[in-house]
Amino acid sequence: MNELRRAWLITLKDLRLEFRTGGRLLSMIAFVVLAGFLFAFALDQTAVAGRDVAAALTWLVILFASTAGAGRIFDPEEEEGAFRHLLLTPVSRPAIFLGKTAANLAVIWLVTALTFLSLTAFLDVRDQGSPAAHAAVLLPGTIGLAATGTFFGRMSRHSSLGDTLLPVLTFPLLVPVIFFGATSTARVFLERPWPEISGSVRLLWAFAVGSVFIGAALFRHVSDE
């Protein structure tokens, strides 16, 4: 059987579990809405323009929400030891990684959409920048976040420090995503021409592709005993 089809089966299974369990998704959504609400009150918008900070806040909220969610990606696999049985099927480790990353990515996209909607509403920057340009920046950035979160979400399972270890491992690696993501999104908000943005987007794509390939290649080292 095609490994991509197996990866797709894992994605569908994970999304079904995600929406039935709801815990991880709900906690991420609650965080996003509360963060947007609090930023709106914490910022003195007579002194700081919303569009000057919207990009940085958007990426920080997405980063924190996705990292918090990454710690729980493998919860349903561990409840009754299902991951052990999944590893004993012929499915390859890269296919498991790709399947779980795709499911994680779908959840992150939902959270990203909500973050974007809530922050642009609270900071009053709704009509600034083309939606297509925003999506073109967010897409590679979130792929990088999803792949990194899935890999280190599994790795942190082997440590007694667990969720504490996850941000320590992931945040330094995600500096390029946050840097190039936030600067690109800021330029989109300022409606700068695309050639000024495309260089950073190419770097985001390089990070996304690299993290997916490296994660898939190394996943067996964090999944198998």
Partner 1 sequence: MTLEGQRLVCTYGPTRALDGVDLVAGGGEIVAVVGPNGAGKTTLLRALSGERRPDRGEVLLDGSPVSGADPGWRGRVGLVSHRTGLYRKLTVAENLTFFASVHAVPEPRSAVARALDTIGAAALADTRVEALSRGQSQRVALARTLLHDPDILFLDEPFTGLDPSAAAALESTLRARRAAGSIIVLVTHDLRRCQGLADRVVVLQRGHKVHDGETGAADAVDLLRFFSPTPADPS
In order of 114, 179, 197, 217, the CA distances from 203 in angstroms are: 25, 10, 10, 21
Minimal distance, residue 24 CB to partner 1, in Å: 12
Whole-angstrom Cα distance, residue 45 to residue 107?
31
Which amino acid does the sequence have at 208?
A: A
Q: Based on CB atoms, which residue is closest to partner 1, 92 or 183?
A: 92
- Least distance to partner 1, CB of residue 102, Å: 15
CB of residue 142 vs partner 1: minimum separation in angstroms?
A: 25
Identify which of residues 69 and 144 has a Cβ nearer to partner 1 in the complex: 69
Residue 10 beta carbon to partner 1: minimum distance, rounded to whole angstroms: 8
Question: CB under 8 Å to 46, separation ≥6 — which residues?
Answer: none
- Using the rule CB under 8 A, is 16 a contact of partner 1? yes
String of contacts with partner 1 for each residue 67-106, x by CB under 8 A: ---------x--xxxx-xxxxxxxxx--------------
Instruction: Give me Rg for the CA atoms of the chain.
Output: 18
Q: Which of 186, 110, 109, 95 is nearest to 141 (CA)?
A: 109
Considering the rule CB under 8 A, would residue 225 count as an interface residue with partner 1? Answer: yes
